Structure 1
Amino acid sequence: MDRGSVFAVPVLAPSNSNNNNTANGNNGNSGGDVAIERAIVTARFARFVNDFRQDNSFILRDQLKENVRIRQYYLEVNLEFVAAYDEDLAGCLRDKPANYMPLFEDAVRAVAKENLMLSTEEEVPDFQVLLLANMNPIPIRELNSESVSKLVKIHGITIAASNPSAKATHIQIMCKNCRHTKNIPVASGFGGVQLPRKCDAAPADGQPKECSLDPYLVIHDKSRFVDMQNLKLQEAADVVPVGELPRHILLSCDRYLTNKVVPGVRIAVTGIYSIFQSKSANADIAIRTPYLRVIGMQSDADGGRNRIFTPEEEQEFLSISRRTNLYEEFSNSIAPQIYGCADIKKAITCLLMGGSKKVLPDGMKLRGDVNVLLLGDPGTAKSQLLKFVEKVAPTAVYTSGKGSSAAGLTASVVRDPSTREFYLEAGAMVLADGGVVCIDEFDKMREEDRVAIHEAMEQQTISIAKAGITTILNSRTSVLAAANPVFGRYDDMKSAGEVYLFMPIILDILAKHVVGIHQGERFAEAVGEISIATMRAYISYCKSKCAPRLSHEGAQLLSSHFVDVRSKVRGMEKKSAIPITVRQLEAIIRVSESIAKLTLSPTASERHVNEAIRLFNYSTMSAVQSGNVDGQSLSDVSSAVAKIHAYIRRRLPIGHRMSSGTLTDQLIEENFPPQIITRAIDMLLQKEVLQFEKRRLSVKRIAL
């Protein structure tokens, strides 16, 4: 655990010593002078910083000079560099980092003073060493008591970040009676300090001291402080066992590690696994709460954000982008175990790639993310598609609409039990910033919760005004939602708006019906042409390197198509189920850009626009024109069915029977089309208003 002062044990010997075994603590001088041992260790760290070379370049010394020049007093060091130069030093940092990191920072300060030829101690401030380790990360749920005080590496997603505060490293205290002063070091991390209960100043002239109990006061002006920030890191969803809740751990960051991340960012953290005593009144004196004192932080490569691609990876991705049939191959590799759904998989491909974000001259931003809504009967593989997208997207969060609230999807305000201050905890759409949110059972969400995500979907922001906190969070995410029809089944006698009861704001691409079946052994053997790992990396590369714009020819084609669609919808006798507005035009533009981005094309040409129009006609326009029978509009068919139902109720009272053929002939005489008559009778049979008898030769009315 954290200590209030720095000390060293005699484990390292000078480099010119003949006894190399002293590095393992076998020098037999455990009672030696601690100051001498501190100087030995610091000197070895200083030689490492001065002498370490890579490709004939003194990378650490050069980095130190550059940082001092720009007044950034820190040094990033990879633990592999230390191990390559001196394995004993690296082992000490792994086993007792709390003891040796202060000595490492003292050595960096000494090297900076020596190389920069500064004259006084005051001109060289304290330096911070940011230690990065390439060791295998430890899952948060596997951290235990054996890891206390050891160097560990974990990765996860930040779900909360406190406001930076001032943390004392040394405090000066003064006796309020005799004015005696002394400096006390303060433990790092969450560790604190306890003031002496009695004044320990030496008596003057042999006179007895008369200082009262608890005489010391803290002189803040002469104390030393550093910036400190607390984070909450949650383990990634893909490592959480089924049926268990994700676990989290507190992080303590100081100095140059503060204000580096915001909620929703995936990071890999190197730190000292430490413990502290909770301030809770019911806390047992023997129980300690674990936390991680961060000494190194880097962006998680698996998260896909700010990822640096190697030349070999870039060459591989460029070769993939030149494939002649990449669009088909990529879409077929999405959930290959699901048979069919070709156009729906292509729509999901567009969602994963996304369009191009634009910033207009007046500062207004136009989003480039594509939202997809899958609508269909139960058992049509909607959830399987969502689960696959969660795996293949570089950043993804999966949630179910039934168990999601507005606060869980956006952000919640939580009170810190220790400081009693309010802070924000990010919801699913903030955590998936830059990725995809998969919302299953979208129709089961409450209306007020569904409305809460409209701003996040269109404006890419989440506005918070709670408990005195007024802020705007980024939510630059695509939404892939799945929903069932009202009453659980699709009714082709109703419009899409009546069947699904959704506002047009959530309709970018309307996938009307997902058809997916398991085909025996083929389910286990289905493998996509492109692996999931390659797809995830390629998506990250395309989104970071390519931002296509609509070509002049594509813009003209799209403009004429939009005018034609508006004319068709305007020509309908009844109001269409889905209004065709500029929002749909923007959706087609985004889809065109996403198809172009898949092949790393700088412009969206006519070919890309034609494919986007085809997807638009397959989804949204088919919903607008749904229900047409023999050229009749949905409203005409619904009106005819209602008249048939009224006629049957008049001609056939409850409990009476009639020949099926006679009933059909009478309806035909009333000039009703046979196809609509059959559909109307089937609907009454489904609603259990009518019932067939005598091998369907007669029909009986059994209800209203």
Structure 2
Amino acid sequence: MDSIKNQKSKQFNKMSGWDQGNVYVSGGGGISGSRALNDQSTNSSVDIQTKFLQFIREWKNQDNSFIYRDQLSQRYNLEQYYLEVNLDHLDQFDSNLSYQVLNKPNEVIPLFENAAKLAVKQMKFKIELKDINDIQVVFVNSQDSTSIRSLKSNHIAKLIKISGIVVSASRTQPRPVLLVAKCRVCGHQLNINVSPGITLNPLPAICDEGQNKGLQCGNSPYHILSDRSKFVNQQLLKLQESPDTIPTGEMPRHIQLSLDRYLVEKVTPGTRISVLGVFGIYTGANVGKKREVAGSATIRTAYIRALGITSDTDKGGRYTVFFTPKEEDQFRKFSKRPDLYQIMADSIAPSIYGHKDIKKAITCQLFGGSSKKLPDRMKLRGDINLLLLGDPGTAKSQLLKFVEKVAPISVYTSGKGSSAAGLTASVIREPSTGEFYLEGGAMVVADGGVVCIDEFDKMDVNDRVAIHEAMEQQTISIAKAGITTILNSRTSVLAAANPVYGRYDDMKSAGDNIDFQATILSRFDLIFVVRDPRIKERDQSIANHVIGIHMSGTSGNSSNELDINFLKKYISFCRSRCSPRLSDDAIEALKNHYVSIRATVRQKQDEDGQVSAIPITIRQLEAIVRISESLAKMSLSTTATNQHVMEAIRLFTISTYDAITTNNAVGEQITPQLLQEVVNAENILKKRIPIGSKVGIRNLTSQLNGQLSPFAIRKALDILVKREEFDYVLQGKAVIRKN
């Protein structure tokens, strides 16, 4: 009888996941004291298991329904052997029981699972207890998450909740629960209960039975009988801190997750999750190789054994946020304002002067269009991609930084410091196991949000090509090291770049200034060419605005500004509650506009004799559709009307279309006075330069400095070259008059 109790005690200690030494009780007489302690522990375990069984059978919700009893019965009939328990309900039922789960999960959760098996036995009288499948208990609760960097030694063996982004996932592999081992020499069989989580080889190093018989079985004589052992599925994930929670200048922290049974294959890299699990430690693979470092032999690697996972992004890749009824009423009332569109645009980077149309386009990007899934399983993206291309010092990077702060999910990166693997995904080899697994890059981490790529033109051409699929199909296909899979990258791209020569060259067309392939340009819905014109009145206004910010510390336009937290929540609310579609009038207007702009661009190409750098394809028609839907979503409207389409066409016309058809840009207006100055410059240049002579452009500009502005000279030369009266030589540094 004593041996049976001692065996139960050993099994219970193994279930707890911690090494238990011998227990000595002073003044109790050795063995009798130990037996009394074991009896007390066994009785306590029986009481806890009885309370868990009572909770499963008797807990009722507000509708007087036995939710856990019904859930257990339904899922068991469907061969789904798990029970999802809300810890808030357990706390209301018995606060002491909830305290035991939070502080001693390794000891009491096996009792909870045994209670679930007993509950199935009581509901199904014809089934023997040994024939009932093991039930996994999965937990959820409403408590706030703890950051990964705040986990310390006092959290070990406690139930904790953390949140982050899954950056890599291993393959699902079998993990032993019960091992049946056999000695190769004496044939002795041994049953070993393996504790959950990440464990090392549990096989004994020597055979005690062989030593008792006088046999020399040697070291590590046991081998596993896999057909008699019991296994469950296990998967390892790497969880990384969310980018918005990482302090400035700090490297992102990550931690390993161990999932088993019905929690495996639930999430993919790029998914934001909240994990409820047991914080544990195990011996790392490289600890034994670092014994020369003082204390390294005692260092353990931390991990979390997941007991429940909640995804923070839905199947559409959107970040799910819960709103109170008061917030919902506030948002719906705000969406009815007639000046909503202007207020939203004024709230985008209010400290930056001007760029009103760019801010309106960024507002549309933050809300996004409606993604669609066709009957043939083809998907149409709803995310809007923007490219800001122009002179340095025009606040492009500041706009990207603001979007990173206000978007619900965002990642900021620089083109020079980003590789193809860093933006998409990479295949990593685990040093301890030698297994290959995927680790998602910036576009996978930002799934459901915005990726801000600064210095887009500084990226390597091969790295830039890697994001073609991610921008249009919104997937990343991987075929490396035997891994063939597809990751989701349902994200918008906001890119900033400089022209070929650093500054926009008036002497050259838009195609010569934009050093991008047509394949990447066609994937941007709107392309803004941002200029820094030298206009005295505009420079004075910008100077006053910047000095005012430095003096007062505010943008000076606080009446129309929204609080950044309110703006962030309102964007999440609209994205999660509204998915507009086009009206009949809007569809007709879109078709007519697309046909007309195709004809205009074709005519211009015939006149100039060269192909446009930015092609007009069906993607540009879809871009206007997405912008129209985002304008409707902004006001929580289910239908995109003709008015929304007209505004979308206006944004497209002043950005992408103007960059194709004219050499003008945002911020530069050709006035009648400037146009007359260009005409005068043509006549002066014809008189100044004889036929057949070659003149340097820099010398010509310095000679005519008192008569003409450099802008008028370069514009006039550009016009004369197009008429084939002049010709550029020496890469645009000199001209020669032909006739």
Shared fold (TM-score, shorter chain, > 0.5): yes
Partner of 1:523: 554
CA contact (8 A) 1:159 1:425 kept: yes
From the superposition, tell whether residues 54 and 653 of structure 1 become closer, same or farther in structure 2 (CA, over 3 Å): closer
Alignment of 1:433 onto 2:465: no
Q: Give the superposition deviation at 1:473.
A: 2.0
Q: Note the 1:111-510 alignment, pairs <5 A.
A: 111-201=119-209, 211=217, 213-280=219-286, 281-283=288-290, 284-300=296-312, 304-307=318-321, 312-503=326-517, 504-510=521-527
Partner of 1:6: 15
CA deviation map 1:631-661 (0-9, x unaligned): 99xx999999998997699487999999957
TM-score (ref. length: structure 2): 0.80
Partner of 1:615: 651
CA distance in 2, matches of 1:30, 1:644: 112
CA distance in 1, matches of 2:146, 2:393: 38
Partner of 1:34: 41
Alignment of 1:624 onto 2:649: no
CA deviation map 1:399-428 (0-9, x unaligned): 111110011111111111122121111111
CA contact (8 A) 1:495 1:623 kept: no
CA distance in 2, matches of 1:263, 1:502: 30
CA distance in 2, matches of 1:87, 1:514: 65
CA deviation map 1:264-308 (0-9, x unaligned): 011111111111111225144311111111112112379953556
CA distance in 2, matches of 1:336, 1:658: 39
Partner of 2:579: 547
SS of residue paired to 2:507: coil
CA contact (8 A) 1:492 1:626 kept: no
Q: Give the superposition deviation at 1:398.
A: 1.3
Q: Which moved more, 1:384-393 or 1:171-180?
A: 171-180
Q: Match for 1:607: what amino acid?
A: Q
CA deviation map 1:201-256 (0-9, x unaligned): 4999xx75565554322111111111100000000111212112111111101111
CA deviation map 1:76-127 (0-9, x unaligned): 2222222222222222222221122111211222222223434301342111
CA deviation map 1:13-66 (0-9, x unaligned): xxxxxxxxxxxxxxx974544332221221122222233333233332232223
CA deviation map 1:545-576 (0-9, x unaligned): 33322222112212222232233323322134
SS of residue paired to 1:323: coil
* Runs of 4+ with deviation above 6 angstroms: 628-632, 635-646, 651-659, 661-665, 672-675, 677-680, 687-690
Q: Match for 2:632: what amino acid?
A: A
CA contact (8 A) 2:16 2:195 kept: no
Q: Give the superposition deviation at 1:477.
A: 1.4
CA contact (8 A) 2:389 2:530 kept: yes
CA distance in 1, matches of 2:128, 2:682: 94
CA contact (8 A) 1:457 1:478 kept: yes
From the superposition, tell whether residues 312 and 641 of structure 1 become closer, same or farther in structure 2 (CA, over 3 Å): farther
CA distance in 2, matches of 1:339, 1:34: 71
From the superposition, tell whether residues 378 and 662 of structure 1 become closer, same or farther in structure 2 (CA, over 3 Å): closer
CA distance in 1, matches of 2:216, 2:713: 111
Q: Give the superposition deviation at 1:605.
A: 1.6
Unaligned runs of 5+ in 1: 10-27, 691-704
Q: Match for 1:676: what amino acid?
A: A
Q: Give the superposition deviation at 1:380.
A: 2.1
SS of residue paired to 1:351: helix
Q: Match for 2:527: what amino acid?
A: L
From the superposition, tell whether residues 626 and 78 of structure 1 become closer, same or farther in structure 2 (CA, over 3 Å): same
Identity of aligned residues (%): 48
Q: Match for 2:312: what amino acid?
A: D
TM-score (ref. length: structure 1): 0.84
CA contact (8 A) 1:374 1:514 kept: no
From the superposition, tell whether residues 563 and 331 of structure 1 become closer, same or farther in structure 2 (CA, over 3 Å): same
Q: Give the superposition deviation at 1:150.
A: 1.7
Q: Match for 2:587: what amino acid?
A: A
Q: 1:97 aligns with which of 101, 105, 108?
A: 105
Q: Which moved more, 1:305-314 or 1:59-68?
A: 305-314
CA contact (8 A) 2:450 2:494 kept: yes
Partner of 2:528: 511
Partner of 2:95: 87
CA contact (8 A) 2:701 2:713 kept: no
SS of residue paired to 2:208: coil
CA distance in 1, matches of 2:574, 2:595: 32
SS of residue paired to 2:255: strand
Q: Give the superposition deviation at 1:321.
A: 2.9
CA distance in 2, matches of 1:425, 1:194: 30
CA deviation map 1:590-619 (0-9, x unaligned): 211221222232322211110011101111
CA contact (8 A) 1:577 1:623 kept: no
CA distance in 1, matches of 2:397, 2:207: 69
From the superposition, tell whether residues 489 and 108 of structure 1 become closer, same or farther in structure 2 (CA, over 3 Å): same
Q: Which moved more, 1:182-191 or 1:374-383?
A: 374-383
CA distance in 2, matches of 1:347, 1:308: 27
Q: Give the superposition deviation at 1:147.
A: 1.7
Q: Match for 1:373: what amino acid?
A: L
From the superposition, tell whether residues 128 and 637 of structure 1 become closer, same or farther in structure 2 (CA, over 3 Å): farther
Unaligned runs of 5+ in 2: 1-10, 19-34, 291-295, 533-541, 665-669, 721-727, 735-739
From the superposition, tell whether residues 673 and 227 of structure 1 become closer, same or farther in structure 2 (CA, over 3 Å): closer
CA distance in 1, matches of 2:107, 2:700: 94
SS of residue paired to 2:168: strand
CA contact (8 A) 1:652 1:658 kept: no
Q: Match for 2:648: what amino acid?
A: A
SS of residue paired to 1:228: strand
Q: Match for 1:273: what amino acid?
A: F
SS of residue paired to 1:593: helix
Q: 1:47 aligns with which of 51, 54, 65?
A: 54
CA distance in 2, matches of 1:484, 1:654: 23
CA distance in 2, matches of 1:424, 1:662: 61
Q: Give the superposition deviation at 1:664.
A: 6.4
CA contact (8 A) 2:169 2:236 kept: yes
From the superposition, tell whether residues 210 and 134 of structure 1 become closer, same or farther in structure 2 (CA, over 3 Å): same
Question: RMSD of the TM alignment (CA)?
Answer: 3.9
SS of residue paired to 1:463: strand
Q: 2:622 aligns with which of 586, 589, 597?
A: 586
Q: Which moved more, 1:523-532 or 1:52-61?
A: 523-532
Partner of 1:538: 570
Q: Match for 1:563: what amino acid?
A: V
Q: Match for 2:237: what amino acid?
A: L
